Amino acid sequence: MIMKRVAAPRTLARRLLPLQIGMALQGLILWVPIEKLFMTQIGFDAASVGAMAAAYAAVVPLLEVPSGILADRWSRSRLMALACVALMVSSLLGGLSQSVLAYVIAAMILGVYFAFSSGTVDSIVYDTVVEETGSNELYERWIGRIRAVESAAFVLSALAGGVLAQYTSARFTYFATIPLIGLAIIGFLRFNEPQLHKPAERETLRSHIALTVKTMITSRAVLLVLLLTATAGLLSQAVFEFGPLWLVTLQAPAVLYGPYWALLVSTLGIGGLLIAKLHLERWLMVAVLIILSLATALVLTWTRSLPVVIAAQVALALVLALLGIHASRLLHDAVPSSIRAGVSSGGGTLTWMLFLPFSLVFGWTARDSGIDKSGFMLVGAVVILSALLVISVRVSRGTVPVEVAATAKQDAIRATQQADEMACKQLVELVADYLDDTLSPDMKARFEEHLAGCDGCSMYLKQTQQVIAELRCLSASPNGGEGVQHTAG
Amino acid sequence: MKISIARMIANLTARGRAYGNRFAWWSRWFPPAPTVDADRFQGEGDLYPDHWKEFPRPWPAGQAGGPEALPAALSALPGPWRRVVILRDVEGLPPADVSALTGLTAEQQRDVLNRARELLREGLGPAPEHDGRKS
């Protein structure tokens, strides 16, 4: 891992502040912890909860692509604002709804919010980092910070929502959410959006997708990791979506939903911290996790004790978080960096596709034979997950991880070293280094070797030098120089 | 519907590892952004992978693109990039001074410079070079 460059430009932090404020505010969805409680109050049963989850799981992937196009063509921060509007409308309709149908409509509008916001912030942060620093190296750190802010908001809203529901009503939390999201819109609109719009991106996207799909289908190792990711994701979703139904069945008081949800949500953060200390490639660790997940899933099928149910769900969620991160690390090692995000998206879509039928069947069995019986579906999925985990540990032993290149320049240097010669695509990344004479002797030799035999790159370098010469003239001419000085401040 | 919220936090979870967040399930497609558009180069299946599809077109003699082209291209740059270009190429400051003024590392200001110069070069050309191939 190359993480030695610590310096983050001051302007980057200042520029991302409104975005962070917006993300914190839009994370304060107060009704989330008590949603299932409210849903039962207005007439939902387990089967209709399952049907709602399925309807919702169908909406989001459908809107993913159009929302991506909208983000590229229009404006990403405005798309975030629009997503917040959808969230406000959904909260309002949800709060007003008196029937199952009305609530399902509200849920589908919430799907619009998630489709619009998913990935949008990632790409805003990515472009901002590139615009401020010239490379994407600091991207991971900043998206990590923003996710941390967001998850802190989730935990806070979980606790606050539970308390609010206890002292007012479940319905009120929906209305109380609306002004907070309204404030988030201001944050997004105040954000100074990056201006870098590369029209060629869409063009290369198509070939990119083709390559990604090919990798997903043809490589068995990748397919295995994808299945592992999707199964862990499916189970994780199932716990978060249907877990509260256990509390509803056991008639837990409203105030309990807040801490319960906060615990559940915090397992994801704790998992992130814990994973660095655990060795999931060791059999002992794998065995512990498998036994723990099987035990907790089985406990959910027979216990009637509220504390045990909560403890089991939290433990299961934690194990699933660990496995999810582990799967993403395996994925990281299995595919080259250039198509990694695409393959991850494939894993996400696969999760949705599995979750749709799963939630329908789960809801159905929960209504007809009780939530504890449908808990056996969790057990079944855990068994499949365990099998995939065992196979993946066997497969991943002995495979050499694909090397990581965080930036285009590092990519170029690595490719040159591997191929033992420089190609045009790599040369153009190194022009500034060549002109500043900061290339290693080896790279410099390859640079010049390529230049001697390539008219295209000679032309490219000549034009770049001409640009530099003309820029230098700008400072000499009083007119141009002054105008330029002005913009420099 | 909490699934999505769970999912959003799952993005955070990978934070424990340095590379984690690249795999945000929903993140769109982020190959390292190249300086020159990837479709200017030949692909895997072509005769010379990673070499120019078409060489950069030569510029007519004299000042390329007319006297107004460079200031126009310059003002079209994103603010932080323009600042680095002006400090380094117009005012001719050494990298260390630019780092001190902008808070960028030596490496970062060079990355910015490389990208910005490419945009300027494109802007100075006689006509946008790859419009012809676009649909």
- What is the ipTM score, two decimals? 0.77
The residue of chain B nearest to residue A464, with distances taken between CA atoms, is B121
On chain A, the residues whose CB falls within 8 A of the CB of B85 are 471
Of A7, A151, A460, which is closest to B105 when you measure between CB atoms? A7
Of A148, A204, A474, which is closest to B70 when you measure between CB atoms? A474
Which pLDDT does position A488 carry in this prediction? Answer: 41
A434, A435, A441, A442 alpha-carbon torsion, rounded to 10° = 20
Flag whether pLDDT at B112 surpasses 90. Answer: no
Which pLDDT does position A300 carry in this prediction? Answer: 92
Contact yes or no for B111 and A10 at CB 8 A: no
On chain A, the residues whose CB falls within 8 A of the CB of B112 are 133-134
Band (A486; pLDDT cuts 50, 70, 90): very low
With pLDDT > 70 as the criterion, what percentage of chain B qualifies?
64
Which candidate, A71, A44, A25, A30, places its Cα nearest to that of A363?
A44
Of B23, B70, B117, which is closest to A432 when you measure between CB atoms? B117
Flag whether pLDDT at A248 surpasses 50. Answer: yes
Quote the minimal CA–CA distance from A307 to chain B in Å.
21
Flag whether pLDDT at A355 surpasses 70. Answer: yes
Q: Which residues pair with A202 in a beta bridge?
A: none
Contact yes or no for A123 and B30 at CB 8 A: yes
On chain B, the residues whose CB falls within 8 A of the CB of A139 are 21-22, 30
Band (A376; pLDDT cuts 50, 70, 90): very high
Of B34, B108, B120, which is closest to A134 when you measure between CB atoms? B108
Which pLDDT does position B131 carry in this prediction? Answer: 43
On chain A, the residues whose CB falls within 8 A of the CB of B51 are 423-425, 454, 456
On chain B, the residues whose CB falls within 8 A of the CB of A53 are 1, 3
Task: Compute how many other C-beta atoms are within 10 angstroms of the C-beta atom of residue A18.
Answer: 17
Say whether residue A276 is in contact with chain B using an 8 A CB cutoff: yes
Band (A461; pLDDT cuts 50, 70, 90): very high
Of A140, A204, A344, which is closest to B25 when you measure between CB atoms? A344
Of A9, A133, A195, which is closest to B111 when you measure between CB atoms? A133
Which candidate, A265, A39, A81, A83, places its Cα nearest to that of A173?
A39
Give the model confidence (pLDDT) of A266-288 as tens digits. Answer: 887 777 667 767 877 788 999 99
Which pLDDT does position A404 carry in this prediction? Answer: 45
Interface of A with B in 246-265 (CB under 8 A): 265
Q: Which residues pair with B52 in a beta bridge?
A: B41
Contact yes or no for B15 and A200 at CB 8 A: no
Interface of B with A in 73-112 (CB under 8 A): 74-75, 78, 80-87, 89-92, 95, 102-112
Mutate to test the interface with B, among A38, A109, A140 (most CBs of B within 10 A): A140
Task: Estimate to the nearest angstrom the gap between the alpha carbon of A488 and the chain centroid.
Answer: 36
Instruction: For residues B35-45, give the mean pLDDT.
Output: 80
Say whether residue A68 is in contact with chain B using an 8 A CB cutoff: yes
Say whether residue A368 is in contact with chain B using an 8 A CB cutoff: no
Task: Compute how many other C-beta atoms are within 10 angstroms of the C-beta atom of residue B125.
Answer: 17
Measure Cα distances from A49 to A44, A45, A55, A265, B43 in Å: 6, 6, 10, 20, 48
On chain B, the residues whose CB falls within 8 A of the CB of A150 are 8-9, 12
Q: What is the DSSP string of A378-425?
A: HHHHHHHHHHHHHHHHHHHTTPPPPPP--SHHHHHHHHHHHHTS--HH
Which pLDDT does position A106 carry in this prediction? Answer: 92
| Burial state string for B13-47 with b = 16 or more CB within 10 A and e = fewer than 16 | bbbbbbbbbbbbbbbbbbbbbbbbbbbbbbeeeee
Flag whether pLDDT at B7 surpasses 70. Answer: no
Instruction: For residues A10-26, give the mean pLDDT.
Output: 90
Mutate to test the interface with A, among B23, B77, B104 (most CBs of A within 10 A): B23
The residue of chain B nearest to residue A32, with distances taken between CA atoms, is B2
The residue of chain A nearest to residue B80, with distances taken between CA atoms, is A132
Say whether residue B35 is in contact with chain A using an 8 A CB cutoff: yes
Interface of A with B in 390-429 (CB under 8 A): 404-411, 415, 423-426, 428-429
Band (A299; pLDDT cuts 50, 70, 90): very high
Say whether residue B127 is in contact with chain A using an 8 A CB cutoff: no
Say whether residue B124 is in contact with chain A using an 8 A CB cutoff: yes
Give the model confidence (pLDDT) of A95-152 as tens digits. Answer: 999 999 999 999 889 888 877 876 677 778 877 888 888 777 777 678 777 877 877 8
With pLDDT > 90 as the criterion, what percentage of chain A qualifies?
35
Give the model confidence (pLDDT) of A56-81 as tens digits. Answer: 778 877 776 667 667 766 788 898 99
Q: Average model confidence (pLDDT) for chain A?
A: 82
Quote the CA–CA distance of A309 and A246 in Å, as a whole number: 7
The residue count for chain A = 489
Band (B25; pLDDT cuts 50, 70, 90): very low
Flag whether pLDDT at A92 surpasses 90. Answer: yes
Contact yes or no for A269 and B41 at CB 8 A: no
Find the DSSP H helices in A169-219.
170-190, 200-218
Say what the pTM is: 0.70
